[in-house]
Amino acid sequence: MKAITYTRYGSPDVLDLVEISTPVPKDDEVLIRVRAAEATKADCEMRSFHFSVRWFWLPLRLVLGVWRPRRPILGAYFAGEIAAAGRHVTGFAVGDEVFGSSGLRLGAYGEFMAVPAQGAIVEKPRAMTFADAAAVPMGGLNALHFMRIARIQPGERVLIIGAGGSIGAHAVQIAKSMGAEVTGVDTGAKADLLRRLGADHVVDYTTEDALATAARYDVVFDMVPGRSLTSALRALTPGGRYVHGNPRLSLLIRAPFVRRFTDKIATCAFAGETKEALLTLKAMVDAGAITSIVDRVLPMRAAAEAHRLVESETRRGAIVLAIGSGGEC
């Protein structure tokens, strides 16, 4: 099979399209013929081993490989078809169209991948193409996790900082589906996109600091590392919740003390990726409550270009790789 691999950490140029052996699924695994995979910021960070949040550098290095990558095929978020199933697998049949996440097993940049059948894999939304479906799990699973933590109630005011990213864009839609009045913060270039996704108000962070105005919010959801906790808490109403999806170590340490010394709550909890959450996302897609946002779809041979686009932060939606020789998804 064809796969995009890397054997050393570095720039996008370390990515290489090669022929390798097709994996064989274990008794409790399914073999997925991958049709599309999202190229994510996490893929770029693992490839370069340069992370915006650096406190977990050492544990990640031990997991991913100290001197070179232990798992040479990147990609965790995918859509494709069941090509084979282990003898203990139930609930899936060959030919089923699915989407989901392989977690730290990675492997979605290859034409085939073997993953546990009980993992975050479910039937693909029928109305979505493979490319559109592949762009849902990363942003959707994380956004759903954080919006659930925020316990959003109908009519509450929600500020989403980093609303134009994959997680932020899904958070805008999910918060709106919960009945919130949503203000999205990102560059002015993404204002139209955020309004199409349902944002009631848009703030261009290059010209205005949303946390420095007189406006107050019931929930502030932040995806930008390094934000001042004090300024975020100041922007909350009494009983308000600050949720950070990309925290620095200092915020992780300080967050538990916020409830003890103020009337507000600060939460930094990393998202799990479960079948239940993915089924919830699928139902929301089927109901028209959320959709994915794809900037462009590129062939496997353009993996390096895909990573450069992701790292440039100028994209307006997901960058998706069409996996397979046909280059279509």
- As a whole number of angstroms, the distance between CA 200 and CA 279 comes to 27
Give the pLDDT of residue 11.
Answer: 96
Please tell me the predicted confidence (pLDDT) of residue 252: 62
110 and 24 within one domain:
yes
- What is the pLDDT, as a whole number, of residue 50? 77
Amino acid 56: pLDDT: 58
Is residue 21 located within the same domain as residue 123?
yes
pLDDT attached to residue 250? 64
What pLDDT score was predicted for residue 225?
Answer: 75
Residue 28 is predicted with a pLDDT of 96
- The verdict on 42 and 119 lying in the same domain is yes
Which run of H or E residues covers position 309? helix 303-312
Are 179 and 258 contained in the same domain?
yes
Q: Say what the pLDDT of residue 52 is.
A: 61
Does residue 272 belong to any structural domain of this protein?
no
**Residue 59 confidence (pLDDT):** 66
Q: Is residue 275 part of a domain?
A: no
97: CATH? 3.90.180.10
Residue 274 maps to a domain: no
Residue 28 lies in a domain: yes
**How many domains is the chain built from?**
2
Enclosing domain of residue 211: 138-267
Query: Over the stretch 13-68, which tens digit does the pLDDT of each residue have?
Result: 999 999 999 999 999 999 999 999 999 999 998 998 876 655 556 666 666 666 78
For residue 273, tell me if it sits in a domain.
no
Lookup: tokens for 106: 């990675």
**C-beta separation of 242 from 218 below 8 A:** no
Question: Could you say which of 249, 267, 285 is where a domain stops?
Answer: 267
Pair (92, 130) in one structural domain:
yes
Asked, for residue 52, whether it belongs to a domain, the answer is: yes
| One domain for residues 32 and 83 | yes
Residue 284 lies in a domain: no
Claim to verify: residue 130 and residue 98 sit in the same structural domain? yes
Q: Check residue 227 and give its pLDDT.
A: 73
Assess whether 132 and 167 both reside in one domain. no
State which H helix or E strand residue 115 sits in: strand 112-116
Clarify whether residues 6 and 80 are in a common domain.
Answer: yes
**pLDDT value for 142:** 94
Residue 311 dihedral angles phi and psi, to the nearest 5°: -70, -20
pLDDT value at residue 159: 97
d(CA 285, CA 294): 15
User: What is the pLDDT, as a whole number, of residue 87?
Assistant: 94
- Residues of the chain falling short of pLDDT 70: 51-66, 247-255, 325-329
